[in-house]
């Protein structure tokens, strides 16, 4: 009887140990499924973590347009007076007038006008360009004639932008020519009524507004047409340009193209 009792106690003890082992294993498996109870343990990686969406592309626009310089009387050469013969005395007198007028421009502070007339008298016919930031470009930017033109152009651009267009193309009719009419200005004596205009630029839409940069190239032909009197010195300059024009006559004058480039921000007026 005593022996059977001890056997029964060992059997019960062994059963408890086995049960504790089973419970411990079950707890470990449950923790593995639900995550560690250790607050300092790193979180398990998620197999299907969301991929960040790419940033939305910036909407942009581009602008282009050209009002070309058409053939006109200020571009006349010796071919305009093929039967005329350059009179040497008239040539000397008219050339002296041109040099005197150029000197007067310099004294008056009209340096661009002086430089353009002197270049005309050399007969080279090569182009002269005034870049953005030059004194002539800054004068053009500040003029009321330029401001009126650019308001009209920017209005035409804005109209197309509001219609959803990103490639803005302006016709020649949408690019008005700039006429500098103040006789106390270097722009008048050097350019007066200009003959062509090119515009280009680009920009984006930010906070409901269109912003960007536009570049205007004001184009002209520096020369003297048959009705260009210019306070009396126009006719003798035309004589030098046509009857005594270079290169047919040594020392004769020749017309040439010139430009003024002005760069401005787009959206500089109320949209």
Separation between Cα atoms, residue 18 and residue 33, nearest integer Å? 23
Q: Would you say residue 77 lies in a domain?
A: yes
**pLDDT for residue 117:** 98
Q: Would you say residue 105 lies in a domain?
A: yes
Q: Would you say residue 53 lies in a domain?
A: no
Q: Would you say residue 39 lies in a domain?
A: no
Q: What is the pLDDT along the chain (271 residues), one digit of tens a residue?
A: 443 444 444 443 444 434 344 334 344 434 444 444 454 545 555 545 555 556 667 899 999 999 999 999 999 999 999 999 999 999 999 999 999 999 999 999 999 999 999 999 999 999 999 999 999 999 999 999 999 999 999 999 999 999 999 999 999 999 999 999 999 999 999 999 999 999 999 999 988 899 999 999 999 999 999 998 888 999 999 999 999 999 999 999 999 999 999 999 997 554 5
Query: What is the pTM for the complete model shown?
Result: 0.78
Q: Would you say residue 34 lies in a domain?
A: no
The DSSP-derived string for 244-269 is T-TTTSTT----EEEEEEEEEEET-S
Structural domain including 96 reads 63-266
Q: Would you say residue 80 lies in a domain?
A: yes
Q: Would you say residue 4 lies in a domain?
A: no
Which residues does residue 264 pair with via DSSP β-bridges, in sequence order? 214
**Domains held by the chain: number:** 1
| Phi, psi for residue 61 in degrees, rounded to 5 | -140, 160
**pLDDT for residue 30:** 42
**pLDDT for residue 207:** 86
Would you say 239 and 88 are in contact if contact means Cβ atoms under 8 Å apart?
no
Q: Would you say residue 33 lies in a domain?
A: no
Structure tokens at 102: 């150029």
């Amino acid at each position: 009887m005593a022996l059977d009792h001890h056997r029964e106690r060992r059997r019960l003890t062994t059963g408890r140990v086995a049960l504790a082992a089973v419970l411990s294993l079950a707890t470990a498996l449950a923790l593995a499924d639900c995550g560690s109870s250790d607050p300092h343990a790193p979180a398990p990686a998620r197999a299907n973590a969301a991929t960040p969406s790419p940033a939305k592309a910036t909407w942009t626009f581009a602008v282009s347009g050209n009002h070309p310089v058409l053939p006109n009387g200020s571009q006349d050469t010796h071919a305009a007076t093929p039967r005329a013969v350059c009179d040497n005395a008239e040539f000397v007198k008219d050339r002296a007038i041109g040099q005197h007028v150029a000197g007067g421009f310099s004294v008056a502070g009209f340096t661009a006008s002086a430089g353009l007339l002197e270049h005309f008298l050399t007969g080279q016919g090569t182009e002269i360009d005034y870049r953005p930031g030059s004194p002539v470009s800054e004068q053009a930017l500040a003029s009321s004639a330029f401001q009126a033109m650019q308001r009209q152009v920017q209005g035409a651009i804005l109209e197309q932008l509001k219609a959803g267009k990103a490639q803005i193309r302006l016709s020649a009719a949408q690019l008005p020519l700039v006429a500098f009419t103040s006789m106390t200005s270097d722009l008048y004596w050097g350019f007066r009524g200009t003959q062509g205009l090119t515009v280009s630029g680009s920009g984006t839409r930010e906070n409901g507004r269109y912003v960007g940069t536009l570049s205007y190239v004001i184009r002209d032909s520096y020369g003297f047409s048959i009705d260009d009197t210019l306070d009396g010195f126009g006719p003798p300059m035309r004589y030098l340009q046509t009857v005594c024009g270079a290169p047919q006559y040594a020392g004769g004058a020749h017309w040439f193209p010139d430009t003024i480039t002005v760069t401005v921000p787009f959206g500089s007026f109320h949209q």
